[in-house]
Structure 1
């Protein structure tokens, strides 16, 4: 009998265009979070944690082996930006910044990453999103020129 056992735990993050802080109210942040959860459920991607900050998103997922990461992120980013504009949740035309970060997570580190995502408000009192993102890139071997 042939079996495939796959766990692709990924911590994915992306930001608003030019990292402008557009999700300033709790109501808007919850609305965006709920939309992302609905969309991921619709495309059958298990979400372990999600947090919407004023200018960025954190998402911890278990990406199935038959789903391409780039396609998944494009679906979530594309549909959410369209929805945000349709609902007029922010002033002016909204768009996400190009690209995203996706970092693998060991099963042994899931609770730590979940806690990190849940406690974003506390983390950003110490370090900005940009500082943390650059730190992750360095830790994972991505160096800016």
Structure 2
């Protein structure tokens, strides 16, 4: 029998100290680069987007890839590219840690739309408010002192 797996993950991470440095005009270059990393890892990207202080990735993760390794590889490779290309002037690296949440295939379209509308969403809600809501919706216990 073959293995059949659908592993959809919503990944969120921020620049170091959540600095608002991911300028709108340069973000597409970052997103294109991350898309290439995901393809190389045999992951299927459903949506990527973000604002000045964080990015969201919705992807199917290939069964041979561990989430923590995928995020590490994305951060290392994209961080090197950002510095080499001078993409974001004040970029000091990515913040330690990330949010990684599994979702059912039925939720995919809702999440794609949510990620597409990030700029509109963040006119009303800060990253921290959003992230706490996502943690709570997913039943993740957290210590507020580690959210800074």
TM range (shorter): over 0.9
Q: Secondary structure at the match of 1:126?
A: coil
2:24 is matched with 25
Q: Secondary structure at the match of 2:132?
A: helix
CA contact (8 A) 1:84 1:94 kept: no
Shift of 1:93: 4.7
2:125 is matched with 127
Distance 1:25 1:139, change over 3 A: closer
Shift of 1:144: 3.0
2:146 is matched with none
2:48 is matched with 50
CA contact (8 A) 1:46 1:61 kept: yes
Alignment of 1:75-114 (within 5 A): 75-114=73-112
Shift of 1:4: 1.1
Cα distance in 2 for residues equivalent to 1:88 and 1:121: 23
- Report the TM-score when normalising by structure 1: 0.93
Cα distance in 2 for residues equivalent to 1:44 and 1:120: 26
1:13 is matched with 12
Distance 1:109 1:93, change over 3 A: closer
Distance 1:93 1:57, change over 3 A: closer
- Gaps of at least 5 residues in structure 2 are 144-148
Which of 65, 68, 71 is the equivalent residue of 1:70? Answer: 68
Cα distance in 1 for residues equivalent to 2:52 and 2:118: 11
CA contact (8 A) 1:9 1:60 kept: yes
Equivalenced residue count is: 143
